[in-house]
Amino acid sequence: MVSGIQAAGNYHLKPEMIAPGTYVLSGRNEHFNFRNGGNIVNTGFIVTKQGVVVIDTGPSRIYGEQMRAAIAGITDQPIISVLNTHLHPDHFLGNQAFEDIPIGALPGTIEGIRTQGEMFNDSMYRLAGSWMAGTRVVIPGETLKPGTLEVGGHRLRLLALDGHTSADLVILDETTGVLFASDIVFNSRTPTTPHADVGRWLKALDRLASIEFDILVPGHGRVESGAKRFEPVIQTGKYLGWLSGTLSTAAEAGKSMAEVLHPDVPQWVAGQAVFPEEYQRSVVHLFPDYESAALQRGLVEQQ
């Protein structure tokens, strides 16, 4: 330990079985930093009769290698498929450890990793330091389409949504009732919005609310089941509605970005993990569009 910064080492990945043959490796409700090495994400895998299906590979080569070792500690079954849910670096930069396995993603995700992957990798080196040693971008080689995959006794329904990014893969295991919601859903953590379209994201959440499932695995935050399984879906939508309303009202009032950075915040919003930082990032990402829309409406009204 040097000046409070932990050198790259062990992510201490502990697969938790949440349903028969279904495991989650839960990340921390934090920002990327030199202590957590980027382990803020929920990844998972499904052990089927045919082999193991991996869902997201984490933020670094080291994470991917340790995830693969953790899987080997659970089962002797071979890994037969890797699915990347979207283009954000904490979900795909571990691909390097699975380079010998078919890696699939939606077309928009593949293109996003192709064009922005190196930028994400460079950024993660700055945010997570030596945990990123030796990490390089591995682009998914298989294009996924929405539909159903029958894999070793598991029926996986692939849903092609968007809103968090331009291509968000959600996976429902109809055999066990587990919904891997990716970053369409956050649980008790402020959603990130660098590639967001809030309107489309809210529609995606409406789609999830109409689906029957038993266990929810959000992209970030605690896994939920039973009566609480829909709460993160509702919570994410409520936050996005508050965010959109706050930015829209401020833009209509002619407020500057500096004024919008420090709003009056309800406790249910402020109580979410990493709210101040993520909210300020959202203002930078999204407020210019709200300002432009308000300006256009003003010009139309003057005509």
For residue 136, pLDDT over 70 is answered with: yes
Closest to 284 measured CA to CA, from 196, 203, 205, 165? 196
Give the chain's domains with CATH numbers.
16-229 (3.60.15.10)
Closest to 212 measured CA to CA, from 235, 230, 194, 200? 230
End-to-end CA distance of the chain: 64
Sequence letter at residue 62: I
For residue 192, pLDDT over 70 is answered with: yes
What DSSP assignment string belongs to 255-287?
--HHHHTS----HHHHTSBTHHHHHHHHHHHHH
Token representation of residue 11: 């992510």
Buried b (16+ CB within 10 A) or exposed e, 120-137: bbeebeebbbbbbeebeb
Q: What's the pTM?
A: 0.95
- pLDDT confidence band for 1 (50 / 70 / 90): very low
What DSSP assignment string belongs to 5-46?
BPPS-------EEEETTEEEE---SS---TTTTT--S-EEEE
pLDDT of res. 296:
82
pLDDT of res. 5:
38
| CA distance linking residue 129 with residue 37, whole number of Å | 7
Secondary structure element (H or E) that encloses residue 242, with its range: helix 231-252
